[in-house]
């Protein structure tokens, strides 16, 4: 026999304090608004051909085109210019991305050399297979500020490695003297294609 003094119980309300939200110590990884680089498998790098690589910064970071930031980048370029079978040969710094001409022994060496915490997505890379592709990539990288419509105080961009490029055509009016020592000082490029243009 059932007890008659039990109250009929109904479903109680359960109040949520929050759904998700910030928690102490939880940090969300900053992401690009949309993937900038396809996630297809990369071409196989054989170590004999240079590569044009581009990395884009996470949105919301300050412009890279300041002398303070350039100084930090030059230190990083110098520290990582010849490691893991990866070699940085030329570079151009823009407001939110960096163009690099590199040499790498293989895909793993390229990936190790291109790592960084402030990059928004995967890096874009293109193997330069012919002398014409190398020449065009050199001009594109070293003269990239002009492509972005930036006004330069000289014929060369202070935020690119063009001051230290020895393959400029004679007659090009250059500013006398590079802005400091070459951050990538050391032996010349391993690939003959990047040696002089």
User: Domains, the chain, ranges and CATH?
Assistant: 51-169 (3.30.70.1290)
* Report field, pTM of the whole predicted structure over 0.75: no
β-pairing, 124-127 vs 82-83, is unpaired
Element (H, E) at 174: none
Output the pLDDT for position 187: 45
Residues recorded for the chain = 197
Tokens of 13: 């309300």
On the 0-12 / 13-18 / 19+ scale of CB atoms within 10 A, 29 is exposed
Instruction: Note whether 157 and 62 are within 8 A (CB).
Output: no
> pLDDT by residue (tens digit) across 121-158?
678 899 999 999 999 999 999 988 888 878 776 778 88
Any idea what DSSP says for residue 2?
Answer: -
Output the pLDDT for position 99: 95
Q: Which residues in the chain come in under a pLDDT of 50?
A: 32, 171, 173, 176, 187, 192-193, 196-197
Tokens of 41: 């498998």
Calpha distance 68→160 (Å, rounded): 15
Output the pLDDT for position 152: 73
Calpha distance 162→155 (Å, rounded): 10
């Amino acid at each position: 026999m059932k007890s008659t003094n039990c109250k009929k119980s109904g479903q109680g309300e359960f109040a949520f304090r929050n759904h998700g939200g910030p928690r102490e110590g939880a940090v969300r990884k900053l992401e690009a608004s949309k993937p900038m680089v396809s996630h297809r498998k990369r071409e196989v790098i054989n170590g004999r051909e240079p590569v044009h690589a581009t990395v884009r910064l996470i949105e919301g970071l300050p412009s890279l085109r300041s002398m303070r930031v350039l100084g930090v980048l030059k230190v990083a370029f110098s520290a990582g210019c010849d490691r893991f079978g990866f070699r940085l040969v030329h570079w151009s710094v823009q407001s939110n991305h960096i163009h690099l001409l590199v040499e790498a022994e293989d895909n793993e060496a390229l990936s190790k050399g291109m790592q960084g915490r402030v990059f928004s997505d995967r890096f874009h890379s293109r193997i330069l297979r012919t002398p014409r592709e190398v020449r065009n990539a050199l001009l594109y990288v070293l003269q990239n500020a002009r492509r972005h419509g930036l006004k330069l105080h000289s014929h060369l961009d202070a935020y690119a490695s063009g001051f230290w490029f020895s393959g400029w055509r004679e007659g090009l009016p250059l500013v006398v003297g590079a802005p400091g020592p070459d951050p990538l000082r050391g032996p010349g490029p391993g690939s003959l294609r990047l040696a002089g243009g």
